[in-house]
Amino acid sequence: MTNDATLTNDGLAPKGQGRVLLIACGALAREILAIKQSDGLDHLDLQCLPAILHNHPERIVPAVREAVAKYRDAYETIFVVYADCGTSGQLEAACAELDVEMVAGPHCYSFFEGNEVFAARDEMTAFYLTDFLVRQFDAFVWEPLGLGRHPDLRDMYFGNYEKLVYQAQTDDPALTAKAELCAARLGLAFERRFTGYGDLTPALTALT
């Protein structure tokens, strides 16, 4: 999957025709498209920002601001498919200023499991992977942390973690096997939880 996704309609939609633009993290593109298809949400158009912003939260707010400004005149409703994602409340403040709504929650791990359920777990020693991050483990975790060049850094980064929790959006044995291998590479116990799309589904189906 590429880091960017283009609009899923064939161009910019005129205002007043009931279309909604989703400005989303590229790491959520597959899941958003699956929800659109399964729930018949043909009025939602998707524009993804680069998924690598997952590793650079300081760049998320400027990127969202730029995207909202770019598409504001083409859509009456814009919805931001990011949670706080490490922006320390800055994304929520920007969305309020821009008069656009966003997904609730501190990060995708929380809304995939369900924000209430996730908050009740209070897991301070768990490292989380989603379907996307399992697929892109080397590009988004292993290499950015320099573990390919310096595997001795593993204990420094992950010494305080006890387990890797794979939040599975889909039932895919191959992804589960890869996630278990990721846990072994990090020296962590492995746990798989099937979350499906969690709070993301009601957040999107509520958009009219």
What tens digit of pLDDT does each residue of 155-199 get? 999 999 999 999 999 999 999 999 999 999 999 999 999 999 999
Residue 149 is given by DSSP the state: T
Give the C-alpha separation, 151 to 185, whole Å.
Answer: 10
Q: What amino acid is encoded at 157 in this protein? A: Y
pLDDT in tens, 96-132: 999 999 999 999 999 999 999 999 998 999 999 999 9
CA trace torsion 170, 171, 172, 175 (10° rounding):
60
Residues 153-164 as b or e (16 or more Cβ within 10 Å = b): ebeeebeebebb
Residues 107-146 as b or e (16 or more Cβ within 10 Å = b): bbbbbbbbbeebeeeeeeebbbbbbbbbbbbeebbbeebe
- What pLDDT was estimated at residue 149? 93
Give the C-alpha separation, 73 to 31, whole Å.
Answer: 27
Give the C-alpha separation, 126 to 191, whole Å.
Answer: 10
Domain 20-103 belongs to what topology? Rossmann fold (3.40.50)
What does the domain layout of the chain look like in residue ranges? 20-103, 110-194
- What pLDDT was estimated at residue 17? 72
